[in-house]
Amino acid sequence: MTALPLRVLVLEDHSFQRSVAVNMLRQLGCCEVFQAADGARALEILQEVGPVDIALCDLRMEGMDGLEFFQHVGKSGLVGSIIISSSLSVDLRRAVQQIVSLLGLELLGDVGKPVQSSELEALLNKRLTACAVEFEPQSAPQLATEDEVRWALKQQQLQAYYQPKFNLLTGEVCGVEVLARWMHPLKGVVSPAVFMPVLERCGLLDELLFGQMHQALRLQQQAKVQGISLNIAFNLQAVQLSNSELTTLIKGVLAHHAAPGSGLTFELTESGLLEAPATSLESLVRLRMMGCKLSIDDFGAGFSSLQRLCQLPFNEIKLDAEFVRTLKQEPRCRAVISSTLALGESLGMSVVIEGIETQEQCEQLLELGCSQGQGYLYARPMSGPDLLRWLPISSAA
């Protein structure tokens, strides 16, 4: 048996179940295993022995329960990650998982009760892998300076990349989403994480948008020559809608390329639409009057009300990728996706599913009635020339 370099604290008030968990961990190779019957004793042990890699926690206990223990350890650094082991109902445990994350703790997993050795072993290995990655030297992306970003805009180094949207039933490309990439002359392709915060801070989002529109509309015309009709989606921030000249400028770009508004979609995240002022609402209405589609991006990730959804003139919902990512593990995700599809149909809104990465996910979504999707299973973001070369191949496939 290989010894595992993990320190584990078992927090369980039932003495027999605590003993089983401790023995199981030792059999799996954990040499340092500590145990406590409630949260108060667990805190005392942490003060005595120092930080642990994992706390295997029950939730409902006499004395200090699991929730209060989580609040105490919070961001203290005394607990590396949490494994929940509880007989509470699935919906309550799911809510506790959210609490763990909000308190700044890492949730390693939820094994329920009784604890199964195979599940526990898998989570121990997951923690070991995470530790190995943590110790690899990594550097956070350093933000570009305002002067660098302004120069990049002036030199047209911020290029439009395109991620296709698909009809899940036919495999046909039904549009593309425009993403920004910095083609740096020395550093190559630079991530948006380096320059997007600077654009937002310096009020340069409109300049980026109009630059992307000119690039994308030229590409749209080239695709049309190839016999392919592409709807092109651009990301808008809520702050941009407050510019009363926005729609006039967009109309000017469309006129310059002799392009109809019906070939464009504008995507806005729902978190930015909670309290859209009159100016923003007017901009949305004018975009629709121009024939453009409006899409709520990352739907389900924010907290907008259904009433707000009915008030705003959107005609597409993009469901957040997290629902697809956890579709297999979380039964409720199926219900959310089904409900969103039904909601879209009743409101006359199309629904696009984001984050499709596996064939299994695609098949599950088709069973639920999904018809449009986007994700790495189909295509990654690509440059304009690459997209034009790729489109005939995808059509032939």
| DSSP codes joined into one string, 136-172 | S---PPPPPPHHHHHHHHHTT-EEEEEEEEEETTT--
pLDDT at 131: 64
CA–CA dist 150, 235 (Å, integer)? 20
What confidence score (pLDDT) does residue 97 get? 85
**CA atoms of 28 and 142, how far apart (whole Å):** 41
Find all residues with CB under 8 Å of 287, minimum gap 6, and list them.
247, 250, 261, 266, 294
> What separation in angstroms does the CA of 188 have from each of 149, 157, 314?
15, 10, 37
Q: What pLDDT does residue 260 have?
A: 96
Say what the pLDDT of residue 325 is: 85
Tokens 């939730």 -> residue: 59
For residue 62, what are the contacts with CB-CB under 8 A and spacing of at least 6?
A: 13, 38
Determine the Cα angle at 23 with ends 21 and 28, to 5°.
Answer: 95
The confidence score (pLDDT) of residue 137 equals 46
> At which residue do the structure tokens 């078992």 appear?
10
d(CA 27, CA 31): 9
| Residues in contact with 53: Cβ distance below 8 Å, sequence separation at least 6, in sequence order | 6, 7, 8, 80, 81, 127, 131
Q: What residue has token string 């597409």?
A: 316
pLDDT of residue 359: 92
Per-residue pLDDT, 163 = 95
E strands of 193-292, at which residues?
232-236, 264-269
For the chain, list the domains and their CATH numbers.
4-135 (3.40.50.2300), 146-396 (3.20.20.450)
Residues in the chain where the model's pLDDT stays below 70:
1-2, 131-141, 270-276, 301-305, 308, 394-397
Q: Which residues are known to be catalytic?
A: 354
pLDDT at 103: 87
Residue 352, pLDDT score: 95
- The per-residue pLDDT for range 278-332, each reduced to its tens digit, is 778 889 999 999 999 999 888 876 555 577 677 788 999 999 888 898 887 777 8
Residues in Cβ contact with 244 at an 8 Å cutoff, skipping those fewer than 6 apart:
279, 282, 283
Question: pTM score > 0.85 for this model?
Answer: no
Six-digit token pair at 254? 């469309």
Would you state the pLDDT for residue 138?
46
pLDDT value, residue 291 = 96
Per DSSP bridges, beta strands 158-167 and 382-383 are antiparallel
